[in-house]
Structure 1
Amino acid sequence: MNGYTDNKADLRKRLSRVEGQVRGIARMVDEDKYCIDILTQVSAATKALETVALSLLSDHLSHCVAEASAEGGEVAAEKVREANEAIARLVRS
């Protein structure tokens, strides 16, 4: 079972909203809207995706990493490494 299973409905709802935001941004480009207005919407969609990512990361840490830590050894080390790499990707983006 994935750590996000309990929050799946909320994640899907958030992702559907992001999908709508991105379609709206594409429509704004098609309609030659003002650059700053488009950038504002891109920023909002980016923040919404970051919220999804942070939720997934939190679920991963509290479920997958916590379980692996209880198991210990190489499994725990691998999950911590995986989490560190995911955090690094989020920070760079």
Structure 2
Amino acid sequence: MSENTNNIQKCGCCDNECQRCKHTPRDEQTLRSLQNRLNRIIGQLNGIKNMLDDNRYCGDILIQTAAAESALQNFGYLIFKEHMNTCVVEEIQNGNSEIIDEAVELMRKLK
């Protein structure tokens, strides 16, 4: 995300003010940690695909599927926590109480 001369944050994907981009950037350590987790999840999913290709036992595939689901759920909770601590707080401070409804809907989808 870049800034223009009026200190309005611009989106890196569309080079405009964007409602779908995060205004508070993630610090490098957090970003690296999230990317590492996601890469492990991708590895788990690839492993499940290989298990299918190798005609592995259904129970083994289900165990790995449960592990991948749990890892993805935990990843989602980390993103949600960050969303609450940054995006939601900022929107409430800017007078946008509708963000609470969005947060509740996101929480419902994560369950």
TM-score by length of 2: 0.74
Larger fraction in helix: 1
1:35 paired to 2:55: no
The answer (yes or no) to whether the contact 1:4–1:56 under 8 Å persists in 2 is no
SS in 2 for 1:32: coil
Aligned match of 2:8:
none
Provide the C-alpha distance between the structure 2 equivalents of 1:31 and 1:37, rounded to a whole number of angstroms. 12
1:88 paired to 2:108: yes
The sequence identity of aligned pairs, in percent, is 36
Larger RCO (CA under 8 A, 6+ residues apart):
1
Q: Which has the larger radius of gyration?
A: 2
* Length, aligned pairs only: 88
CA RMSD of the aligned region, Å?
1.4
TM-score by length of 1: 0.87
Q: What amino acid maps onto 1:18 in structure 2? A: I
Q: What amino acid maps onto 1:87 in structure 2? A: M
Report 1:3-82 matches (<5 A). 5-6=26-27, 7-72=30-95, 75=96, 77-82=97-102
Is there any run of 5+ residues in structure 2 with no aligned partner, and where? 2-21
